[in-house]
């Protein structure tokens, strides 16, 4: 993990049973990786994170990503399809921040939290983390 990630990111120990799949996001399990941004509209860090992610839609699509924004109790899909999600259930399931505070989470295809961020992450760093995940690395290996 790069030095930039050490300030504001926590790579999750996947063997920790406290990080079980999030029930409210079960529809994505084994299909998509989910990146969730928590913040209200006027949060500059959230806006920066959204802009960075959406600048490379083909890379998001290639990695089977869905990007969600949770603001108060509402959920909006920024990339990919997502309907009928409950922002409060997601916030509670992830032990997310209070409404209005910035945080971001990356969930793997297995539905568990892989990364928790308190500061925005660059696409290069995020995609490097995803590409090192076992399911993604296996797929990349089979493409060669």
Q: Give the pLDDT of residue 40.
A: 79
pLDDT in single tens digits along all 144 residues of the chain: 443 443 445 555 444 444 567 888 999 999 999 999 999 777 899 999 999 999 999 999 999 999 999 998 899 999 999 888 999 999 999 999 988 899 999 999 999 999 999 999 999 999 999 999 876 655 555 565
Q: Give the pLDDT of residue 3.
A: 36
Q: Give the pLDDT of residue 100.
A: 84
pTM of the model: 0.82
Q: Give the pLDDT of residue 8.
A: 47
C-alpha triplet 127, 133, 138: angle, nearest 5°: 110
Q: Give the pLDDT of residue 89.
A: 93
* Count of beta carbons in the 10 Å neighbourhood of residue 49: 25
Q: Classify residue 119 by its DSSP letter.
A: S
Q: Give the pLDDT of residue 143.
A: 61
Q: Give the pLDDT of residue 88.
A: 92
Q: Classify residue 6 by its DSSP letter.
A: H
Q: Give the pLDDT of residue 136.
A: 60
- Residue 97: strand pairing partners: none
Tell me how far apart the alpha carbons of residues 61 and 118 are, in angstroms, rounded to a whole number.
24
* Count of beta carbons in the 10 Å neighbourhood of residue 12: 17
C-alpha triplet 39, 57, 82: angle, nearest 5°: 55
Residue 57's nearest CA partner among 80, 37, 35, 39 is: 80
The residue count of the chain comes to 144
């Amino acid at each position: 993990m790069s030095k930039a990630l050490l300030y504001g990111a926590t790579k999750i120990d996947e063997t920790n049973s406290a990080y079980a799949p999030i029930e409210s996001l079960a529809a994505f399990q084994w299909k998509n990786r989910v990146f969730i941004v928590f913040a209200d509209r006027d949060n500059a860090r959230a806006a920066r994170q959204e802009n960075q992610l959406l600048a490379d839609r083909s890379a998001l699509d290639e990695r089977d990503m869905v990007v969600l924004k949770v603001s108060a109790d509402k959920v909006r899909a920024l990339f990919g399809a997502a309907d009928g999600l409950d922002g409060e259930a997601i916030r509670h399931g992830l032990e997310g921040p209070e409404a209005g505070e910035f945080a971001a989470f990356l969930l793997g295809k297995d539905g568990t939290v892989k990364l928790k961020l308190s500061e925005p992450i660059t696409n290069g760093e995020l995609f490097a983390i995803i590409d090192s995940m076992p399911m993604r690395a296996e797929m990349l290996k089979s493409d060669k």
